[in-house]
Amino acid sequence: MRILIVEDEIKVARFIENGLRENAYTTKWAKNCVEANDYLAEGGYDLIILDLGLPDGDGLDLLRDWRTCGFNEPVLILSARDSLDDRVKGLNIGADDYLPKPFSFTELLARARSQLRRSSQVRQSVLEYRGIKMDLLAHTVSYGDRSIDLTNREFALLEILLQNKGRVLTRTQIGEKIWDAHYDMQSNLIDVYVRKLRNMFPEHKDPPLIKTLRGVGYSIP
Ligand code: CA
C-alpha cells in the first residue's frame, strides 16, 4: 500500500517514512504543495498524511482543491494546529481524520491502518493470481496452503506487478515506486528481487510468474 506524506519538516517526514516502511508500506514524500499536487496526479495512493503549514501554501487549501477536483483518497491531517475549530474545519473540508502534533507514531500507525481498512472495503485488498493470494492489509502471501514469507521490498514488488497485471513496468517505474529516489538505476537490484520472487513460486516455472521483456522491464501477463 502506498502512502503520500506531505510535510515540509525533513525530520518529521523521515520519522514517519521510516516507521511506515518498517511496517511494509511504500511511501513518497512531498515537501510542499507543488510536489504534493504532482505526486497525487500520478495516482495510486491509498492514503495521504497531510501537514497544514507548508512553505508554499496551506494544506487546507490543498485539500479543498483535491476534493473539488474529485480526488477521493483518504486524508489524515497531521498538524500542530490543534484547536477544536481547526479540527472541525479540516474535517468539514474533507479530511477523514485529524491527529494533532506532537504525535506518537503508534497512534499515527493505528489511525492510518483504520483509514486503509475503510478505503479497502471499497478498493480491492486481496489480490489473487494463479493460486497466489496476497492480502494487502494483513501483509500476508500464500500459495495454496503454503504461507510465503516476503521481505517488505519483495512484498512491494509483487504488489505493484499484480496491481498492474497485463502491463509492462519499466525498471525505472519499479525502482521509483519501491525505492523512491534512493534507487540507483545502474544497479541490478530489481533483477535480483525478481529472481527471488520467481524462486519462491517454483510451481510457476512455465510460463514464468514474472515475464522479462528484454531492455524494457517486467510484467505479470
Ligand atoms: Ca509544517
Question: How confident is the model over 167-179, as a mean pLDDT?
Answer: 84
73 CA distance to ligand 1 middle (Å): 21
C-alpha 2 to ligand 1 mean position (Å):
21
**7 and 71 housed in the same domain:** yes
Q: Which residue has the cell 503508534?
A: 106
Same domain, 22 and 108: yes
Q: Tell me which of 95 and 178 has the higher pLDDT.
A: 95
Q: What is the pLDDT of residues 2-30, one digit of tens each?
A: 999 999 999 999 999 999 998 889 899 99
pLDDT digits (tens, 9 = 90+) for 90-127: 999 999 999 999 999 999 999 999 999 887 766 678 89
Cell of 15: 520519522
- Same domain? For 94 and 188 the reply is no
Model confidence pTM above 0.85: no
Cα(46) to centroid(ligand 1), Å: 22
Say whether both 76 and 155 belong to one domain.
Answer: no
Work out how many domains the chain is built from and give that number.
2
The 3-state DSSP class for residue 28 equals strand
User: Smallest Cα–Cα separation from 80: which of 108, 52, 55?
Assistant: 52
Q: 99, 119, 139 — which closes off a domain?
A: 119
- The confidence score (pLDDT) of residue 188 equals 81
Is residue 187 predicted with pLDDT exceeding 90? no
**Ligand 1 centroid, distance to 123 Cα (angstroms):** 30
Dump the DSSP string for 113-164. HHHHHHHHTTS--EEEETTEEEETTTTEEEETTEEE---HHHHHHHHHHHHT
| Percent of the chain residues past pLDDT 70, beyond the cut | 96
Shared domain check, 109 and 147? no
* Cα of 80 from ligand 1 centre, angstroms: 8
Looking at the structure, do residues 170 and 98 belong to the same domain, yes or no?
no
Q: List beta partners, residue 29.
A: 5
Q: How far is the CA of 83 from the centre of ligand 1 (A)?
A: 16
Task: Retrieve residue 219's grid coordinates.
Answer: 510484467
Mean pLDDT over residues 153-161, rounded? 91
In this predicted structure, the answer to whether residue 180 has a pLDDT above a threshold of 80 is no
Alpha helices in the chain (DSSP H): 10-22, 33-42, 59-68, 84-93, 105-120, 152-163, 171-179, 189-200
Strands 57-58 and 53-54: antiparallel
94 and 17 fall within a common domain:
yes
Q: Output the CA 104–ligand 1 centroid distance in Å.
A: 17
Q: How many CB atoms lie within 10 A of CB 49?
A: 26
Which residues fall inside 5 Å of ion ligand 1, going by CB? 8, 51, 53
Instruction: Return the higher-pLDDT residue of 158 and 136.
Output: 158
- For residue 182, pLDDT over 80 is answered with no
For residue 210, what is the domain's CATH number?
Answer: 1.10.10.10
CATH classification at residue 28: 3.40.50.2300
Could you tell me the pLDDT band of residue 85, with boundaries at 50, 70 and 90? very high
Give the dihedral sign, CA 122/218/167/143: negative
**Residue 185 confidence (pLDDT):** 67
Check whether 133 has a pLDDT greater than 70: yes
The answer on 84 and 155 residing in a single domain is: no
- Do 9 and 113 lie in a common domain? yes
Q: Are residues 195 and 91 in the same domain?
A: no
Strand order in the sheet with 140-143: 126-129, 132-135, 140-143, 146-148
Domain coverage including residue 70: 2-119
* pLDDT for residue 71 is more than 70: yes
Q: What is the pLDDT of residue 190?
A: 87
31 and 55 fall within a common domain: yes
Ligand 1 centroid, distance to 124 Cα (angstroms): 33
Measured in angstroms, how far is the CA atom of residue 177 from the centroid of ligand 1? 25
Across-strand partners of 6? 30, 50
pLDDT of residue 189: 84
Considering the domain architecture, whether residues 6 and 115 belong to the same structural domain is answered as yes
172-203 b/e (C-beta count within 10 Å ≥ 16 → b): eebbbbbbeeebeeeeebbeebbeebeebbee
Q: Which of 64, 91, 119 is the last residue of a domain?
A: 119
More confidently predicted of 176 and 49: 49
Boundary-marking domain end, from 119, 142, 174: 119
Statement: residue 207 has pLDDT above 90: no
- 15 Cα–ligand 1 center, Å: 14
Distance 126 CA to ligand 1 centre (A): 35
